[in-house]
C-alpha cells in the first residue's frame, strides 16, 4: 500500500489545464493531509479550537506553492466550504472553528491563482465584528468591464441570533483584494436575525439587486425583530446602492 501511495504521488497531475510535477503534487498532497488531520481531530473539545486555528497557517503555507490554486482539495470537502467564482479565478475556503456552544465563528480565506488573503479582519459593524462568517456562495458581478465577486456568508454569535454578511472581492492591478466601499459606500452588509427567522438574503443577477428582510436589532425581549420590510440594493456605477 505504501508503494502504491508513492506511485500515485509520482503521476503528474493536470488541474484546470495546469500540469503539476510529481514533486509539486506530492508537496501539496502532504500539506493537504496535514490540514485534514487538524480539521478532523478527535482531541478533547478544548483542543479542537486550536487545532482548527492551526489549519489556517497550513493553508497559508499551502498557498505559497505555485499552482496550488488549481489543486482541488477533495479530501477536505467534508470539513470546509469551498466556493468558486463562475470565471474560476477566485475560490474561498471557510471552516467552523468549533469555539463552543451556539457561537460558530469561521476561519475564512480567499485565494486566486497567485495569492491568498485572510478575510478575518475587522468589520464595519458598530456592534460586533462579523468577519468570522463562513462563505457559502459567490456571485460574479460585471461592472464597468470588470468582474467583482459578491460573497454571501453565515455565522452565529449565540444569544439566540444568527447573521448573514455580504462582502465583495475584486482584482486591483492583478492583486485580489476586498473592496472597501462597493456596498452602499461600505465594505459589507450585515443582517442579524433571531434564529427563528430567515434573513431571505438573495442576489438577483437579472435585476442586479441584493435584497433581504429588515430586522430591528433593538426588538422586544432583546431579540432582533423582523419589521415586515424588505431592503433592496441596486447595482449602479460605483457599486450597490440602497433604495
For the CA atoms of the chain, what is the radius of gyration? 20
Write the CB contacts of 16 (distance below 8 Å, at least 6 apart in sequence). 70, 88
Q: Are 93 and 134 in contact (CB under 8 A)?
A: no
Domain boundary among 71, 106, 124: 71
Give the closest residue to 227 by CA, choosing from 200, 207, 187.
200
| Domains: count for the chain | 2
Which is more confidently placed, 122 or 191? 191
User: Would you place residue 4 in the very low, low, confident or very high pLDDT band (cuts 50, 70, 90)?
Assistant: very low
Domain boundary among 71, 95, 113: 71
Residue 145 in domain? yes
Whether residues 92 and 65 share a domain: the answer is no
Cell numbers found for residue 144? 464597468
Write the CB contacts of 12 (distance below 8 Å, at least 6 apart in sequence). 19, 20, 21, 22, 25
Average pLDDT over residues 7-16: 44
Full-model pTM: 0.87
Q: What single DSSP character describes residue 125?
A: -
Whether residues 42 and 161 share a domain: the answer is no
Whether residues 203 and 222 share a domain: the answer is yes
**Domain span at 62:** 1-71
Whether residues 93 and 13 share a domain: the answer is no
Q: What is the pLDDT of residues 191-223, one digit of tens each?
A: 999 988 999 999 999 999 999 999 998 766 678
Q: What single DSSP character describes residue 12?
A: P
Whether residues 33 and 94 share a domain: the answer is no
Q: What single DSSP character describes residue 85?
A: -
Phi, psi angle pair for 224, to nearest 5°: -65, 135
What is the pLDDT at residue 67?
A: 86
Cell numbers found for residue 16? 484546470
Share of the chain above pLDDT 70, in %: 85
Ramachandran bin of 33, using left for φ above 0, alpha for ψ from -120 to 50, beta for the remaining angles? alpha
Residue 76 in domain? no
What is the pLDDT at residue 127?
A: 47
Whether residues 93 and 161 share a domain: the answer is yes
Whether residues 25 and 119 share a domain: the answer is no
For 204, counting Cβ atoms within 10 Å of its Cβ (0-12 exposed, 13-18 middle, 19+ buried), the class is exposed
Q: What is the pLDDT of residues 123-159, one digit of tens each?
A: 554 445 788 899 999 999 999 999 999 999 999 887 7
Whether residues 185 and 212 share a domain: the answer is yes
Residue 11 in domain? yes
Give the closest residue to 88 by CA, choosing from 187, 181, 15.
15
Whether residues 62 and 91 share a domain: the answer is no
Residue 151 in domain? yes
Give the closest residue to 56 by CA, choosing from 72, 39, 33.
39
Whether residues 149 and 235 share a domain: the answer is yes
Amino acid at each position: 500500500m505504501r508503494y502504491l501511495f508513492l506511485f500515485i504521488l509520482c503521476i503528474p497531475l493536470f488541474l484546470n489545464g495546469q500540469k503539476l510535477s510529481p514533486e509539486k503534487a506530492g508537496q501539496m498532497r502532504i500539506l493537504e493531509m496535514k490540514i485534514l488531520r487538524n480539521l478532523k481531530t478527535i482531541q478533547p473539545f478544548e483542543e479542537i479550537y486550536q487545532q482548527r486555528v492551526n489549519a489556517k497557517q497550513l493553508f497559508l503555507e499551502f498557498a505559497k506553492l505555485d499552482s496550488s490554486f488549481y489543486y482541488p482539495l477533495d479530501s477536505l470537502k467534508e470539513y470546509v466550504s469551498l466556493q468558486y467564482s463562475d470565471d474560476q479565478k477566485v475560490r474561498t475556503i471557510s471552516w467552523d472553528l468549533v469555539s463552543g456552544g451556539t457561537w460558530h465563528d469561521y476561519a475564512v480565506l480567499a485565494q486566486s491563482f497567485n495569492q491568498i488573503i485572510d478575510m478575518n479582519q475587522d468589520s464595519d459593524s458598530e456592534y460586533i465584528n462579523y468577519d468570522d462568517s463562513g462563505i457559502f456562495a459567490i456571485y460574479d458581478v460585471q461592472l464597468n468591464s470588470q468582474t467583482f465577486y459578491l460573497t454571501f456568508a453565515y455565522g452565529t454569535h449565540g444569544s439566540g441570533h444568527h447573521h448573514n454578511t455580504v462582502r465583495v472581492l475584486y482584482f486591483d492591478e492583478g492583486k485580489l483584494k476586498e473592496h472597501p466601499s462597493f456596498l452602499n459606500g461600505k465594505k459589507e452588509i450585515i443582517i442579524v436575525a433571531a434564529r427563528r427567522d430567515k434573513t431571505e438574503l438573495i442576489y438577483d443577477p437579472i435585476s442586479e439587486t441584493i435584497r433581504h428582510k429588515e430586522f430591528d436589532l433593538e426588538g422586544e425581549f432583546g431579540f432582533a425583530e423582523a419589521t415586515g420590510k424588505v431592503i433592496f440594493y441596486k447595482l449602479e456605477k460605483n457599486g450597490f446602492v440602497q433604495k
